[in-house]
């Protein structure tokens, strides 16, 4: 059983990842922390609470940073995930409230309380994770691992030709995480672009899980429209679910140990670059994936939901 906290900017594929974690019998979800990216941090926090309530989970949500470490705050684009984060699904207020504890402090405390056992899975920009590392030097020693959805080594970018979106939105924070050493795993575009979920897959999920699967199917229309327009694909990549699946099924991924640096300016800002001559410890970067197995796990487990 993996004790997991997901750091998230929900977000359509974030919703898929969180519902997957709710369904997975090998995940003990301890809470969510939120970050800007697909939406603002305030909307991400509201959406995280909404998703947990929809899934019937009474878990803590800690709101995170509202701006990148160094770059100025930015207005999220509605193009990929919609104005409210869930495609065409309208805004709604959850009943619950976030903790009176910031995301970075919550992460440090949970890592202390579950020393050696906590896996943190950031599926948005890495600001909260970098802040946790800066606030508590023990944080990285206390966690079991940090499994990041982000980056691209050989695949090129998805927000610029060089950068993957999560890294691009706070490259300085991503560089702090890259410096922190061997407990970090990157699940980036090199593998997530290999896993495509099509409209008929979401229809199958909705048929078996009308409530939660139905909600994902509704969101997926907007997300797949974006993929059709931009990439000519009749489906979407399972970015964030792949990172959550890598937390419990690392064997489905082929990893390469690479010391990584993040470009923090200019045309290549947000690119994750191999830095073999640096003094940095190698990070595990996922380069291959058993895509059919990851997708089938995703579909099978979501079908267990109501
Ligand atoms: C990442 O960017 C966001 O749009 C997605 O939610 C995912 O975390 C993919 O590049
Ligand atoms: Ca995300």
Ligand 1 centroid–CA 97 distance in Å is: 25
Reported as a single tens digit per residue, the pLDDT across 41-55 is: 999 999 999 999 999
190 lines ligand 1 (CB under 6 A): no
Rounded to whole angstroms, how far apart are CA atoms 90 and 74? 22
Residue 236 Cα to ligand 1 midpoint, Å, equals 11
* Residue nearest (by alpha carbon) to ligand 1 atom 10: 165
Q: If pLDDT is split at 50, 70 and 90, which confidence band does 228 have?
A: very high
Rounded Cα distance between 117 and 245, Å, is 17
Give the mean pLDDT of 256-273.
97
13 Cβ inside 6 Å of ligand 1: yes
Question: Residue 236: which pLDDT band, with cuts at 50, 70 and 90?
Answer: very high
Per-residue pLDDT tens over the stretch 125-171: 999 999 999 999 999 999 999 999 999 999 999 999 999 999 999 99
64 in Cβ contact with 35 (< 8 Å): yes
pLDDT given at position 182: 82
Which member of 7, 9, 13, 14 is catalytic?
A: 9
Pocket test for ligand 1, best of 18, 36, 39, 123 (most atoms within 8 A of CB): 123
| Euclidean distance between CA atoms 220 and 205, whole angstroms | 11
What pLDDT sits at residue 135?
A: 98
- pLDDT confidence of residue 119: 98
- Based on the residue annotation, tell me whether 240 is a catalytic residue of this protein: no
Q: Which fold has domain 2-302?
A: Inosine-uridine Nucleoside N-ribohydrolase; Chain A (3.90.245)
Break the chain into its structural domains and give their ranges. 2-302
Q: What is the pLDDT of residues 49-99, one digit of tens each?
A: 999 999 999 999 999 999 999 999 999 999 899 999 999 999 999 999 999
Q: With a 6 A CB cut-off, is 260 part of the ligand 1 pocket?
A: no
Q: Which numbered atom of ligand 1 lies nearest the CA of 164?
A: 10
Please choose from 157, 161, 162, 239 the residue to mutate so as to test ligand 1's pocket, defined by most ligand atoms within 8 A of CB: 239
What pLDDT band is residue 252 in, cutting at 50, 70 and 90?
A: very high
The pTM for the full model equals 0.98
Measured CA to CA, the distance from residue 55 to residue 32 in angstroms comes to: 13
Return the exposure string of 207-236: e unless at least 16 CB atoms fall within 10 Å of the residue's CB, then b. eebeebbbbbbbbbebbbebbeeeeeeebb
Q: pLDDT (tens digit, 9 = 90+) per residue, 19-49?
A: 999 999 999 999 999 999 999 999 999 999 9
Residue indicated by tokens 């896993």: 195
**Is 172 a catalytic site residue?**
no
pLDDT above 90 (res 181): no
Looking at residue 46, its pLDDT comes to 98
Average confidence (pLDDT) over 276-289: 96
Task: Out of 7, 13, 239, 240, pick the active-site residue.
Answer: 239
Q: Alpha carbon 31 to chain centroid distance?
A: 14
Q: Residues of the chain with pLDDT > 70: what percent?
A: 100
**Residue 71 alpha carbon to ligand 1 centre in Å:** 19
pLDDT averaged over every residue in the chain: 97
Q: For residue 242, what is the enclosing H or E element? A: helix 239-248
- Gap between the Cα atoms of 115 and 180, Å rounded: 17
228 Cα–ligand 1 center, Å: 16
């Amino acid at each position: 059983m993996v004790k997991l906290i997901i750091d998230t900017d929900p977000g359509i594929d974030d919703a898929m990842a969180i519902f997957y974690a709710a369904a997975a019998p090998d995940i003990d979800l301890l809470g969510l922390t939120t970050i800007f990216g697909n939406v603002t941090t305030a909307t991400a926090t509201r959406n995280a609470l909404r998703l947990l309530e929809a899934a019937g989970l009474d878990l803590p949500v800690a709101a995170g940073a509202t701006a990148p470490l160094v770059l100025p705050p930015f207005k999220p684009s509605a193009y990929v995930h919609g104005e409210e984060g869930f495609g065409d699904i309208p805004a709604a207020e959850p009943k619950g409230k976030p903790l009176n504890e910031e995301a970075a402090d919550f992460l440090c405390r949970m890592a202390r309380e579950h020393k050696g056992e906590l896996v943190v899975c950031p599926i948005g920009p890495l600001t909260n994770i970098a802040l946790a590392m800066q606030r508590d030097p023990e944080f990285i020693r206390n966690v079991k691992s940090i499994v990041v959805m982000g980056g691209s080594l050989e695949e090129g970018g998805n927000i610029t030709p060089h950068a993957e979106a999560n890294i691009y939105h706070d490259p300085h924070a991503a560089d702090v995480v890259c410096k922190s050493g061997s407990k970090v795993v990157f699940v980036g575009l090199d593998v997530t672009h290999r896993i495509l979920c099509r409209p008929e897959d979401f229809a199958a999920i909705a048929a078996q899980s009308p409530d939660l699967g139905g909600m994902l199917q509704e969101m997926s229309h907007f997300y797949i429209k974006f993929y059709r327009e931009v990439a000519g694909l009749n489906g979407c990549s399972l970015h964030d679910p792949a990172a959550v699946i890598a937390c419990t099924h690392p064997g489905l991924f082929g990893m390469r140990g690479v010391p990584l640096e993040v470009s923090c300016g200019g045309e290549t800002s947000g690119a994750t670059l191999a830095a073999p001559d640096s003094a940095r410890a190698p990070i595990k970067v996922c380069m291959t994936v058993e895509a059919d197995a990851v997708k089938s796990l995703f579909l099978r487990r979501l079908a267990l939901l109501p």
